């Protein structure tokens, strides 16, 4: 049975978590973390996505990733915007029909067994009948510049020479096909994570003699509403992971995170991380830092332990009713800023992280026909939060 498609949205922001197989501490060496942090940024530059925050732990990592639309300068048709964010979505005939019956029946879709060899082969523009067209193309200079973030300088020089030779021999169509394959790996969350994890796996297996799968299955991703308070809580949750795990006294003490690099003025890397936060919030770094610090200082209510808070949220069902039709439980006045201390499902596996259901409706309405429509249950636990940011005390 095919796996369900991820929720991919136009101009989306995502909280991403991915783990090492069997939760093994394979990322513990400093060298591995340094490489991983470097590649998080360089692969993003190749892919055209924006990393707005990250934390590398000993056996997993957290990312906040913005997947922007394809810039108009790259469109092949000025009136047809490419849907690169949806690349990798399986066509309707390959998916489990869980979205309100709007998927076409299997009989209405021509299968590969029912068509001749010409129809099943890749078409002239590099797109098969079952895949959406690329719809955009980078010029050669820009493509080679992107490849330098992915490969060594010598390999990119060899690619450039090979492409030039092929064009001289009248094989420019093969060069264009190669560029189309690279374009399919851009402006898409799944393709970004696939490229990053492959790069890390190949280096790690060769360097440490590791055999077998390095990563544990698929990565988790949740679409994050672009509201200040929601982005702030998710950013704080990502940076707070080392404190929650008991391996750092404060978020800025764990040097393998974007927050720590930005807060400790870590040279060029620190400046780049400050720009990440400024791009996410549209505010100067000092204002962003003060906002995040206020979240870290927002202690749990007296007498409430992290274990009790996690248990309450994991068991909470907003739609549950008692025998008289009233809500079974009244949500207590917990703030989302207090909940960063526990690993709740809404942060790890939720399809959406938002302050209210209005965001869910907007996302659902935008999704093209035949895309999986996640229901209210994907975000129900978010409603148990008070999302307003804690007020900072005046100095």
Please write the tens of the pLDDT for every residue from 67-107: 999 999 999 999 999 989 887 665 544 444 433 344 333 33
Instruction: Lowest mean pLDDT of 4-8, 109-113, 177-181, 198-202, name the range.
Output: 109-113
Q: How far apart are CA 190 and CA 219, in angstroms?
A: 9
Mean per-residue pLDDT for 263-290? 94
Q: What is the pTM of this model?
A: 0.85
Contact status, residue 169 vs residue 162, Cβ threshold 8 Å: no
Q: Is 118 a residue whose pLDDT tops 70?
A: no
pLDDT higher at 238 or 391: 238
Mean pLDDT in residue range 143-154: 96
pLDDT value at 190 more than 80? yes
State the Cα–Cα distance between residues 296 and 237, nearest whole angstrom.
Answer: 9
pLDDT number for residue 95: 44
Give the confidence band of 120 by pLDDT, cuts at 50, 70, 90.
very low
Q: What is the mean pLDDT of the chain?
A: 82
Percent of the chain with pLDDT over 70: 74
Residues 6+ apart with CB under 8 A from 361: none
Q: How confident is the model at residue 119 (pLDDT cuts 50, 70, 90)?
A: very low
Residue 326 banded pLDDT, cuts 50, 70, 90: low
Percentage of residues of the chain with pLDDT beyond 90? 55
* Weakest mean pLDDT among 137-141, 326-330, 342-346, 368-372: 368-372
CB 17 within 8 A of CB 60: yes
pLDDT category at 364 given cuts 50, 70, 90 is low
Residues 6+ apart with CB under 8 A from 147: 46, 155, 156, 159, 182
On the question of pLDDT at 208 being above 50, the answer is yes
pLDDT digits (tens, 9 = 90+) for 161-176: 999 999 999 999 999 9
Mean pLDDT confidence for 205-227: 90
15-62 confidence digits (pLDDT tens): 999 999 998 999 999 999 999 999 999 999 999 999 999 999 999 999
pLDDT tens digit sequence for 2-19:
566 677 888 999 999 999
* List of domains in the chain: 12-69+214-384 (3.30.70.1290)
Which pLDDT score, from 0 to 100, does residue 353 have? 82
Please report the pLDDT score of residue 234 as a whole number. Answer: 93
What's the mean pLDDT in 309-326?
Answer: 67
């Amino acid at each position: 049975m095919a796996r369900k498609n991820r929720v991919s949205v136009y101009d989306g922001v995502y909280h991403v978590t991915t783990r090492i197989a069997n939760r093994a501490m394979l990322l513990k060496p400093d060298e591995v973390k340094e490489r991983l942090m470097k590649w998080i940024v360089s692969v993003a530059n190749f892919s055209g996505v924006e990393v707005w925050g990250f934390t590398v732990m000993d056996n997993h990592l957290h990312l906040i990733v913005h997947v922007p639309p394809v810039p108009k300068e790259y469109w092949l048709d000025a009136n047809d915007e490419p849907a690169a964010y949806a690349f990798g979505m399986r066509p309707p005939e390959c998916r489990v029909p869980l979205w309100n019956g709007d998927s076409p029946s299997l009989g209405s879709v021509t299968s590969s067994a029912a068509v001749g060899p010409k129809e099943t082969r890749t078409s002239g523009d590099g797109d098969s009948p079952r895949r959406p067209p690329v719809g955009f193309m980078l010029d050669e200079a820009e493509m080679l510049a992107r490849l330098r973030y992915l490969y060594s300088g010598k390999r990119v020089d060899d690619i450039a020479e090979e492409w030039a030779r092929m064009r001289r021999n009248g094989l420019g169509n093969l060069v264009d096909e190669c560029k189309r394959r690279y374009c399919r790996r851009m402006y898409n969350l799944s393709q970004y994570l696939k490229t990053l994890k492959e790069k890390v796996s190949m280096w790690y297996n060769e360097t440490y003699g590791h055999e077998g799968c390095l990563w544990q299955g698929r990565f988790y991703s949740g679409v994050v509403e672009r509201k200040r308070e929601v982005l702030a809580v998710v950013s704080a949750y990502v940076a707070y992971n080392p404190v929650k795990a008991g391996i750092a006294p404060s978020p800025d003490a764990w040097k393998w995170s974007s927050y720590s690099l930005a807060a400790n003025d870590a040279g060029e890397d620190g400046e780049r991380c400050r720009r990440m936060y400024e791009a996410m919030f549209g505010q100067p770094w000092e204002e962003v830092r003060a906002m995040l610090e206020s979240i870290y200082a927002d202690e749990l209510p007296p007498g409430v332990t992290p274990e009790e808070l996690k248990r309450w949220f994991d068991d909470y069902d907003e739609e549950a009713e008692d025998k008289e039709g009233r809500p079974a439980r009244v949500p207590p006045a917990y703030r989302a800023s207090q909940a960063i201390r526990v690993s709740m499902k809404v942060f790890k596996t939720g399809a959406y992280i938002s302050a209210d259901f209005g965001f869910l409706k907007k996302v659902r309405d935008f999704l093209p026909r035949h895309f999986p429509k996640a229901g209210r249950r994907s975000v129900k636990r978010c409603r148990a939060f008070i999302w307003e940011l804690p007020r900072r005390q005046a100095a």
